[in-house]
Structure formats: C-alpha cells, structure tokens
C-alpha cells in the first residue's frame, strides 16, 4: 500500500536494469577517457538453496577459494547440470593487483572488492557459497572438511563436511618466510586486503609515533625507517607508493619529521624486478636512486627482531643490523598447510605446489583439479614419451619415420608438448621438420627417414625450454576460465574429444590442454611513471604506460561498481591527496 | 632537475590552490543540488615544532580531544599568542552524525573523517598534535600525563607530560552500560568510527553464519535477530539503516535466509525518540511497525549473555529472555575514567560530567575549561544570588527596589540567568517587569516598589525552568567555537569586559556567557524518510526532510574532501546499493 516515490522508482530502475546504470557509468568512465573494455553479463534471478529438486542427479562441483582462479572459474561456468558449492573464508573477490595502492590509500580497500555472491548470481547455474575455511581434503572419500572462519558461538556447528564429485582447488598461496626467524612476528605481508589495511594504519602509526615529544632523533629515524624485503613487482610497487604517499601527502602534515624518513628495499638477487626486461630493471633502479629509495641488492634477510633487521651480504657474508620502524615482507609464495597435508596424502611431497597435468587435473586424482598459485602444471616431457610418440607416428610399423608420417602427428605433438614450439622459436626454425633435418644434415626434406635413435637425438633438446608459469593473477584467471570451459562442455567432449592424440593410449584427449597467453605486465614505479612489458618484448616506460595502466586496471575490474569506485578514488587522490586518518 | 609533467603541474595547482579545487568540487556538488554552505578558509603554511623562539613567552593551551568540541575550538582559534598542543588518541575528526550510516555502508568510514593535522594547519596559530591518550590531569601542578595509544615498542618513551597554562578538556564521553552485566562483553557500542566498522562486519558475519549448512532454522533465526537497545536518535537511526540494508541489498544476496531476519528495538521508556515532538515519535513508531521492526517500549535490559538478552517489563516486572545474534547498545553516555579521577581531585563527586560555570570554566579550577559531552554547565540559580542582585539593583540603598532601578539591571540579569527569559516565555509575559507586577497585583507599573522579600517571591519560580543542554554535536561545536572566541579576545576583554554585571563582586564579567542556539534535529527513519524538528517547534516529516538532511549534513562536513566523498558515497549507494564484502 505504499506509493513509490520518484526516488524509489529511479533507484529501482537503476538496480533492476543494470544496462541503464552501466550507461550512466559508461558515460562517467568514458568521460575520463579510461574505458577499454566492457562486459555484457546480467544477473536477474537468484535461486534458493533448496529449490532444485534434481539435486541428487546433479554432479556436485566444490570450489575452494574465491581468488582469481576460483572466481574466474565461477564467472565462466554456465552449465546448469552442476550443483556448485563454493567454500572460502572470504565472501568477496579482491582485485589484488591494486593491493599496493590500498596500502597508502591511493585506492580504498572497498573499491577493489566485490561480494562473491554478487558475482555468482546467475540465471542457470546453481551456486551456493559457504563462508568457511577448508581444513582438510579427503580425496579417498571425496569429502572436504570445512570450518567457519568466524569467531562464533555456534557450539561446534561451525564445522561441516561437503561431499563432491569434482573438486576445484583454488586456494592460492601464503607468504613465504623461508623460515626466517622473527618474520611472522614483526613483518607485514601483502597478500590479503586486511594486510593492505594494516600496512596503511601502520605507516600512519609510525609518523604519529615519531612525532611524539621526548624522543631522540635517532629513535625518530628508526621509527621512520621503512624496510621492504623483496624486489619483485609487489615490493617495488609498494616502495614506490610509499615514497609518493610520504612525499606528496605526509610531508605537509608532519613537517617536523619529514627529513627523517627513509625507505630501503632489500633484494637477495642482483637486481630488482628481475623477471622483467633489463631496460625496465635499469630504469627502476635509477628512478629509485633519484627518489632516494635505498635499493640494497645481494642482501639476504637472516633475522628480524622488533627493532632490527639482520641481513647477510651475498658477496662477503657480512651480517649487518638495520634499525627499522616498519617492515613489509614480500619475497614470494609458500604452500598453505591444508595443501601440504593433501599433497602428503596423494604422495606429492617435496614440492612447492600441487602438481597437475596440462588439463589442470591433480596428478593421481581423477576428479580433483587445482589452479592458480596453489598449483603448478607438470608439463610432460617429450623424452618421457618418445617411444610412444615414435610408434604412434610410425603408422606402417616400419621401424622408421618418414617426414610424411611425422607431419601427420606434428600438430598433436605441438599441442601436447608446447615446449617443442618454444624450442623451435628459440632456434629460429619455422618448421618442426627442420629439427629432423638438422639431425640428418643436408638432405632433401622428403627423403628423411629416422629410426627411433635418430628421432630421440633429433628431439633431445626440446625439453630444455620448459618453464613453469609465473604465480600471477593473469595465469590464475586464464586457468579458471579454461577449466570452466572444460566443465561447460564436459559431456560434449566425452563424446567428441577435441584434444591431441593420446600417444600412450588410444584415441584423443577430451580437451585441448591449457595454454597460457601472456598479455604483458606492469611495474608502477611511482610519480606517475610505470614500466610495461608487453607481449613481443615490447617495453614502454613512463607516463604513457601509467595511463595504459589506469585503463587496463579500470577495465579489468570485476564489476561496474568497483570500476566506478576505483576511478573515483583516483580522481579523489588527484584532487585532494591521500587521507592520513588512522582508521 | 626534473621536468614537471602536465599531470604534476595540474595536481600541484589543485593541492596548493585550494580555491581552485573548491571551484571544481563546488561545481560537482552544486550539480547535485546539495550545497547549502561554503567555507573560505585556506591553509597555505605550516610551522615546525621548534621554529618559534618566543615559545617561553607564549601561554600554552592544551586541548584534550579532537571530537566536535575540541575540533571546533581549534578551527575557530586564531590568536597567535598561544602555543597550542592537542592530545588525542585519534588523529582525525569524525563527523559522528553519519556514524549510523557507516554501520551499513551507506557512507564509508573514511568519508566522514578528516586528519586533525589537516584541520589545524593555519597561518598564524602554532598547533602541535600528539596522538596519545590523556591518562591523568594534575590540576595542582598544571600538568597532563599522556600515553601513546599505540601498541608500541618504545620502552616507556610512549609516556610524556605536558605542562599547560590553560587546559581545554573536550574528551567526550563513553557509552553507558548502567553496569548491566554482559553488555561490555557481548554488545556493540556506536560511539567511535571503529565501532561502526565493527558493526558493519558483524552484520555481514551474521548473514554468512546463518547461511552455513547444518544449522536448525531456530538457530538461523537466532543469529539473524538483531537487537538494538535504546530508542534514542542513534538507536532509531541504526535500526532504520539496518532495515534498509537488509531489505534493499542483503535479501538479494542471501535469498535463503531473508525471511528469518528480525530487528527488535528495546526502549526502557514509554516511547522511542522521546526528546522529539510527539508527532515525530508517533510517526516513527508507526513507520517501524509497518517496516516490521519490533519496537518494545517499557523493556529494561537486565542482563546480556552471549546468546540471550534478558529484559524486565516495566509494567509487571516479568523477566523475558530473547535469543539474539547481534546487539547494539546505545542507551546514553557515561563518564570516562580519567574524567572521573579528575572530578575526585577537584571535589566534584557524584556527578555525571564535569560541572562548569556559564563561561565553560570548570568549577573550582581557574585555568581549566571543559566542553562537549564530558561537561555540563551548572547554571547559576537566581535564588542563590537574590540578595546580591537586590543590593546591586538598589542603587540608592533604600531597601526597596523601584521599577526604574530594576530596569537598569534587567539586561544583566537576563544575560547572567537565561532561565528568567525562559520563565517569562513560558508564562507568556513580554517584560520582566510583568513578573514584579504579578506579585504586586493590579498597580501602575511605575509605582511598584519591592522590598527584598517581595523581590524574592516575585522571582521564586524562575529557576524551575532550568534544563541541562543535551549531549549533542551541535552543543559541543557551539561551545568550542564560543571558547575559541573568548581565547581570541582574552586580552581585549580583560581590559574592556563585555559580560554582564558581577552581582556578587564588582565590575563586569570578561565575556558574555555561553548561550546555546538550537538549529533543530533530525531523526532519519529509513526508506528515504526523515523527521526533522526545527526551531520554533516546526516539525517536518517525510522525503523533503530527507533531502534537507542530505543538504545540511553535506554542508556541515568539515572539509571539501569529506563533502565530495560523502556525496559520492550517497550516489554510489543510489546506483549500486551497499557493499556486503566482509572487510
């Protein structure tokens, strides 16, 4: 019996017709010249937990984790024949590439997160979400044990067990301390949204603490010494953000201590950003030197106490102690305990991550998939299968392989063993046949015939080019989307397999194996300077890359809401600077 | 040696010339039709701690607290002859009237705070800020003992002592539990920004917890039972916000549990919002009933356990236990321990707050002022001074008072004892002389003559109208600005006192006493409905008041930054709804 007011009507229109709201935001965004990408999904309906009566017939897919891999999987899954259950201690997806920006308030934490329930609201797939941590995977009985991550008063009801038909493990990794003493107690990590928020508070804390009366200048200097351990993209970006925050905003509010601030970046290797092109590394090191950020390469941290960090110089083995006020530890990733436990169960010990095959299936577990930072693809070596490949290719069982016979399986080989193509590229060969030719010397292509030994020697080098994929958001997102496409077409591909030949079996693999496509990587260096390494070794450094960075990140954000928020955060920072309230 | 890029130049221009940025935002804001108010302060320079050499000559003013009273004092102070030191555990000012909006994400926490260092950056007054808590006031030696509120590793250096010439106590109050057992352990308060953030997380927690599998419906119902204790403006506004959050946003994401949600508002008195006009109370109670918010009046909470709240009905004394999932306690304010300790020192025991005179000076302490929620003005009674007034007015010492004699001191009486005017208004008299006439019966005004007994009886009723000021932001802000004006003109007024006659001494008071001007009060009731009680008993309820509320709050925010942020938050909520990520 209520009359809807104008406000309510417009508001409903906006909420119900997302296209309308998008139009408005599109206008906003394109006004800033930033939009590069658009999405056309809509989520009109919601299903309730018990509504589906054919639950029993549906295969249950349990997804662990709502990071890049898990969310990307859920977003791309559109096969209604699954009952999907998601277990994660975080009820949101976080756009982690912007975490370093959150540490200093260039972007707000809430602007980079989107509720997972919002993301998975879909027309046709039934997806349930449980906010809980997976504490044990029981592969034998196809069960996962979960526990609510809340500090609840549920009297044991916070634990529950979920059965699965397929399990998708996308739990990510944790920070790796390399068992360095004192790190967990005294350093900040930068993996979760909460970490970034804590760092922000902690930076302000240091400034307030250093401003207190009755301190010696030495003590103030110690408190304002910020140490970043690890010269990878995260550590470098955080150092740059911190430098900008201090020099653009905090110096105005803390004039008495501004000259005491020091930022040190410790890197155990020879250079920072060593996964990037050398030009980028050199530019970054030079820029940091100009900015007064002290980059110490070849310094390995051996101990952290509450006031000092001890480092060991790689050259001479000298141990130095550096007084510090706040430290951020960002040296790479380690394995989560529950994953370690699971790896023990399935006999994968002494590994950094869960080994999967090229279809992201955990080795030794038929119905378990693993993707993202908690997994590595164990790329099959050509040499392991060399005899099988030979006999499969040698159709007439002559004991020798002609070029024609070989050409018939070339595509399958290249798909199954991507290192072959990489090897050719490296040797600057255009055709795989050149490899055979290479081993045979100067004969006409058509007359080449190889026996098994010749074949082995021709391909003996190809496996040397194998590289693990980096633990990045880009890889995880592509793996999630790939796996969802496999699940979407599971039945179809059972019947008409589309993958490469099974060299060690009969028939074909159901799916094409996962193939990573690298779209480039950014390294923001502060002061509106960004280095970008794009596909094809294209390197771009400077302000244009910064704008490219703005556009790409704005376009890649998960929802229109986060996109609008991040852009308004950038605008706010531009106009008003960053906020330094300690909340 | 850097070339400034276009971006940097524009950015600097924005930061340095605040007028420019204001222009831009003014455009933004007035585009939304919300601007009602503008500020023309600018903060170009900053002074450093040790820069002033005449520190020793300057009188030191120590301000405790950065809430409404303290911040308002600091903003209005512009006399450079003081050395001002501010001690507060919060390095920001929070716009507390928007705290209920923060609890449900209608407005972000960061949008309502402004760093105090930003606020006090002034041309001419030297203001230092220490982020610390005052742990003891030593009035005898004019010292305050402070302690850094951080969890520091400073080895005792976190404590320090500040001497003062004048002390301004503006520490606010804490939540009052009336010693009800279990409240501190199990209830949320809503006084600080952190409280609001915790409540927000807690609401989402309840929804996630209630969505877990393996719970009985009864348990789910308990978890989703939100109880608000206290039917004052804060409790009512929070209930309304929560109702909107649940019904506009959460029901879409938690469809399975949406029907189990219940909100109960417990009030010990007969009505909610009892400080408002009856029309507003009635409207609010009716609206809440329509919305399904269960308002239980006459219910006093006697005990809170982790899962149940026990209430006592005022009528029959029955004790009922209500299972609940989350409770917010908002029943009024209590005294902070450090204030209690100080009150003991100066002999003010058995009081709720520090008693001051009408000039905000703490009774019995010449150089200490107290304002805001931690203080109450102890309005002097006419009857206490009646003989002094009489003899002051009786210039010719005739023992009787003529109307002419009386008229000469009327203005001073009315200024010194504002209750007189209130009394006249209540009696619908236009002139104070009518009072005398009243006691004398029907005689000509000019011929009235009163002796001391007649004078006493004429004024015997005036003190009955005395009321304490409410503990609101409005009162605190006015007190801060008033006190700053006094400090600004301290020397001037020492020489030329401008206050009323000292009836018990000679000469005049230095300053006019503080006089509160009520500009009205809002009670947002959810669903874009707000009740407003404006001066002159003008009542407005509905959507127009909501827009008035938007405009007034936007205009009253402390900075252009917060104004822009709050307005963009409102816009965001309007377009995208509220976020339910648990961060």
A132 close to A89: Cβ distance less than 8 angstroms: yes
Q: Residue range A239-246: average pLDDT?
A: 96
- Whether residue A579 and residue B568 make contact (CB cut-off 8 A), yes or no, is no
Burial class (CB in 10 A: 0-12, 13-18, 19+), A144: buried
Higher pLDDT: A495 or B446? It is A495
pLDDT tens-digit map of B152-190: 555 666 789 999 999 999 999 999 999 999 999 999 999
Residue A549, C-beta contacts closer than 8 angstroms, at least 6 positions apart:
A522, A524, A530, A532
Query: Which residue of chain A is at minimal alpha-carbon distance from B105?
Result: A110
Tokens for B372, please give them: 């805001």
Q: What pLDDT was estimated at residue A455? A: 87
Q: What pLDDT was estimated at residue B49? A: 33
Rounded Cα gap, residues A418 and A436, in angstroms: 17
Coil, strand, or helix at residue B216?
Answer: coil
Q: Which helix (DSSP H) or strand (DSSP E) does residue A229 occupy?
A: strand A225-229
Q: Residue range B311-331: average pLDDT?
A: 94
**Any CB–CB contact under 8 A between A213 and chain B?**
yes
Helical spans, DSSP H, in A211-273 = 217-223, 233-244, 251-253
Read off the pLDDT band of B428 (50, 70, 90): confident
Q: Residue range A524-538: average pLDDT?
A: 89
Query: Which residue of chain A is at minimal alpha-carbon distance from B132?
Result: A212
- Whether residue A204 and residue B91 make contact (CB cut-off 8 A), yes or no, is yes
- Whether residue B581 and residue A15 make contact (CB cut-off 8 A), yes or no, is no
Question: Within a 13 Å sphere around the CA of A284, how many CA atoms are in the beta-carbon half?
Answer: 32
* pLDDT surpassing 50 at residue A22: no
**Any CB–CB contact under 8 A between A113 and chain B?**
yes
Look-up of token digits 């403006």: B233
Rounded Cα gap, residues A16 and A44, in angstroms: 8
Query: Is the sign of the CA dihedral B263, B268, B271, B275 positive or negative?
Result: negative
Phi, psi values for residue B451, rounded to 5°:
-90, 180
Residue B563, C-beta contacts closer than 8 angstroms, at least 6 positions apart:
B25, B29, B554, B555, B557
* pLDDT surpassing 90 at residue B536: no
Q: Which helix (DSSP H) or strand (DSSP E) does residue A159 occupy?
A: strand A159-163
Burial class (CB in 10 A: 0-12, 13-18, 19+), A36: middle
Read off the pLDDT band of B377 (50, 70, 90): very high
On average, the pLDDT of chain A sits at 86
The CA distance from A486 to the nearest CA of chain B, in Å, is: 28
Sheet containing A538-542: order of strands: A521-526, A529-534, A538-542
Q: What pLDDT was estimated at residue A23? A: 37
Query: Which residue of chain A is at minimal alpha-carbon distance from B205?
Result: A150
- In this structure, what is the dihedral angle of CA atoms A167, A170, A175, A178, given to the nearest 10 degrees? 50
**Any CB–CB contact under 8 A between B260 and chain A?**
no
Q: What pLDDT was estimated at residue B29? A: 37
Question: Within a 13 Å sphere around the CA of B69, how many CA atoms are in the beta-carbon half?
Answer: 25
Q: What pLDDT was estimated at residue A9? A: 46
* pLDDT surpassing 60 at residue A52: no
Q: What pLDDT was estimated at residue A335? A: 94
Burial class (CB in 10 A: 0-12, 13-18, 19+), A297: middle
Tokens for A574, please give them: 């531009």
Q: How many CB atoms lie within 10 A of CB A264?
A: 20
pLDDT tens-digit map of A213-231: 988 999 999 999 999 999 9
Stated pTM of the model: 0.87
Read off the pLDDT band of A141 (50, 70, 90): very high
pLDDT tens-digit map of A364-391: 888 999 999 999 999 999 999 999 999 8
The CA distance from A571 to the nearest CA of chain B, in Å, is: 10
**Any CB–CB contact under 8 A between A245 and chain B?**
no
B462 close to B423: Cβ distance less than 8 angstroms: yes
Higher pLDDT: B151 or B371? It is B371
Q: How many CB atoms lie within 10 A of CB B523?
A: 26
* pLDDT surpassing 60 at residue A244: yes
* pLDDT surpassing 80 at residue A186: yes
Looking at residue A469, the DSSP 8-state letter turns out to be P
Phi, psi values for residue B114, rounded to 5°:
-140, 130
* pLDDT surpassing 80 at residue A554: yes
Angle formed by the axes of helices B419-426 and B403-416, to 10°? 110
Tokens for A392, please give them: 């499969």
pLDDT tens-digit map of B256-315: 898 999 999 999 999 999 989 999 999 999 999 999 999 999 999 999 999 999 999 988
Q: How many CB atoms lie within 10 A of CB B254?
A: 24
Q: Which helix (DSSP H) or strand (DSSP E) does residue A265 occupy?
A: strand A262-267
**Any CB–CB contact under 8 A between A131 and chain B?**
yes
Residue A195, C-beta contacts closer than 8 angstroms, at least 6 positions apart:
A99, A188, A189
Burial class (CB in 10 A: 0-12, 13-18, 19+), A391: middle
Rounded Cα gap, residues B176 and B333, in angstroms: 5
**Listed ranges A225-239, B343-357, B451-465; the one with the highest mean pLDDT:** A225-239
Read off the pLDDT band of B448 (50, 70, 90): confident
Q: Residue range B117-123: average pLDDT?
A: 85
**Any CB–CB contact under 8 A between A20 and chain B?**
no
Q: What pLDDT was estimated at residue B30? A: 37
Residue A236, C-beta contacts closer than 8 angstroms, at least 6 positions apart:
A265, A272, A273, A284, A523, A525
Q: What pLDDT was estimated at residue B580? A: 87
- In this structure, what is the dihedral angle of CA atoms A553, A556, A558, A561, given to the nearest 10 degrees? 60
* pLDDT surpassing 70 at residue B461: yes
B73 close to B120: Cβ distance less than 8 angstroms: no
pLDDT tens-digit map of A464-490: 878 889 999 999 999 999 999 999 999
Looking at residue A385, the DSSP 8-state letter turns out to be G
Mutate: best of A42, A307, A576, partner B, most B CBs <10 A: A576
Rounded Cα gap, residues B568 and B296, in angstroms: 36
Residues 261-290 of B with CB under 8 A from A: none
* pLDDT surpassing 60 at residue B26: no
Tokens for B447, please give them: 């011929």
User: How do B538-542 and B529-534 pair as beta strands?
Assistant: antiparallel
Mutate: best of A71, A188, A209, A257, partner B, most B CBs <10 A: A209
pLDDT tens-digit map of A415-451: 999 888 888 888 888 777 777 776 666 667 677 788 8
Read off the pLDDT band of B340 (50, 70, 90): very high
Q: What pLDDT was estimated at residue B77? A: 95
Residues 313-352 of B with CB under 8 A from A: none
Mutate: best of B85, B163, B581, partner A, most A CBs <10 A: B581
pLDDT tens-digit map of A266-308: 999 999 999 899 999 999 999 999 999 999 999 999 999 999 9
Tokens for B355, please give them: 């008693």
Rounded Cα gap, residues B421 and B462, in angstroms: 9
On average, the pLDDT of chain B sits at 86
In chain A, what residues touch B15 (CB-CB under 8 Å)?
248, 577
pLDDT tens-digit map of B41-75: 333 332 233 334 444 578 999 999 999 999 999 99
């Amino acid at each position: 019996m209520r009359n809807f007011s104008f406000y309510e009507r417009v508001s409903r229109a906006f909420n119900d017709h997302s296209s309308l709201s998008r139009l408005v935001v599109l206008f906003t965004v394109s006004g800033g010249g930033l939009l590069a990408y658009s999405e056309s999904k809509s989520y009109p309906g919601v299903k309730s937990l018990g509504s589906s009566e054919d639950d029993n017939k549906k295969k249950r897919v349990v997804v662990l984790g709502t990071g890049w891999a898990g969310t990307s999987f859920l977003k791309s899954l559109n096969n209604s024949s699954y009952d999907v259950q998601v277990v994660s201690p975080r009820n949101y997806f976080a756009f982690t590439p912007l975490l370093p920006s959150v540490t200093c308030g260039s972007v707000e934490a809430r602007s980079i997160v989107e509720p997972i329930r919002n993301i998975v609201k879909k027309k046709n797939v039934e997806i349930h979400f449980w906010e809980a941590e997976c504490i044990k995977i029981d592969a034998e009985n196809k069960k996962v044990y979960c526990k609510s991550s809340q500090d609840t008063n549920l009297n044991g009801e916070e634990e529950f067990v979920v059965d699965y038909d397929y399990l998708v493990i996308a739990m990510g990794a944790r920070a790796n301390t390399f068992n360095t003493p004192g790190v967990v107690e005294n350093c900040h990590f930068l993996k979760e949204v909460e970490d970034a928020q804590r760092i922000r508070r902690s930076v302000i804390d240091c400034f307030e603490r250093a401003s207190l009366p009755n301190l010696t200048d030495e003590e103030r200097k110690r408190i304002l010494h910020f140490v970043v351990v690890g010269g990878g993209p995260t550590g470098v970006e955080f150092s740059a953000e911190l430098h900008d925050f201090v020099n653009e905003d905090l110096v105005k509010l803390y004039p008495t201590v501004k000259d005491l601030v020091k930022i040190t970046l410790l890197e155990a290797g020879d250079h920072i950003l060593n996964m990037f092109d050398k030009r980028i590394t050199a530019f970054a090191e030079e820029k940091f030197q100009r900015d007064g950020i002290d980059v110490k390469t070849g310094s390995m941290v051996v101990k952290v106490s509450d006031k000092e960090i001890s480092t060991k110089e790689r050259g001479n083995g000298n141990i130095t102690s550096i007084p510090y006020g706040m430290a951020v530890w960002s040296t790479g990733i380690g394995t989560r305990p529950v994953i370690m436990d699971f790896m023990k169960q399935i006999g994968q010990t002494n590994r950094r991550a869960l080994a999967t095959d090229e279809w992201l299936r955990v080795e030794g577990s038929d119905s378990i998939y693993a993707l993202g930072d908690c997994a590595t693809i164990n790329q099959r070596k050509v040499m392991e299968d060399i005899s099988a490949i030979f006999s499969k290719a040698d159709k007439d069982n002559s004991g020798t392989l002609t070029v024609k016979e070989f050409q018939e399986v070339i595509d399958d080989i290249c798909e199954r063993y991507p290192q072959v193509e990489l090897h050719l590229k490296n040797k600057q060969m255009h055709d795989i046949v050149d490899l055979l030719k290479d081993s045979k010397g100067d004969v006409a292509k058509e007359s080449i015939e190889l026996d098994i030994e010749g074949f082995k020697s021709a391909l003996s080098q190809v496996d040397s080019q194998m590289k693990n994929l980096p633990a990045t958001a880009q890889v995880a997102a592509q793996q999630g989307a790939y796996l969802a496409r496999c699940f979407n077409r599971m039945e179809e591909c059972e019947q008409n397999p589309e993958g490469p030949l099974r060299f060690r079996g009969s028939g074909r693999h159901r799916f094409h194996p996962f193939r990573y496509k690298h779209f480039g990587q950014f390294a923001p260096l502060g002061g509106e300077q960004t280095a970008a390494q794009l596909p094809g070794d294209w390197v771009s450094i400077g302000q244009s890359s910064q704008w490219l960075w703005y556009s790409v990140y704005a376009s890649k954000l998960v929802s229109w809401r986060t996109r609008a928020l991040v852009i308004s955060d950038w605008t706010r920072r531009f106009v008003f600077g960053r906020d330094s309230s300690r909340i």
